[in-house]
Amino acid sequence: MYTNFKRLANKLVRDKNNEIVWWQFPNPPLMGWFVFLVLAQVIAPGSLRTGLTQLSGGLLFVWAYLEITQGVTYFRRLLGVIVFLAVLVGYFR
């Protein structure tokens, strides 16, 4: 049982080259999410702010999808699933 846990723990943080991956440079959808989120916070309430907020949510959704399908570790894929579900819940709330 310990070896199964160790194997799973390794798959959570190691990529296909068996290197530990804790951090990767954010990809464009994640950077876009952050930029549009910040812009939405500094612009006065209105349709432009609403559009920027929706656009930022859409980019976060894209990032989560890409992590689920192309994440290099199980941790990143799991993080993608969590964010994907959080964005979906936010849209239907």
Residues in the chain: 93
pLDDT exceeds 90 at position 38: yes
Q: What pLDDT, on a 0 to 100 scale, did the predictor assign at position 8?
A: 80
Specify the range with the lowest mean pLDDT, choosing from 2-6, 37-41, 85-89. 2-6
Boundaries of every domain in the chain = 2-92
pLDDT confidence tier of residue 33, bands split at 50, 70 and 90: very high
Determine the Cα–Cα distance for residues 83 and 69; give it in Å rounded to an integer: 13
Which tokens go with 39? 């812009």
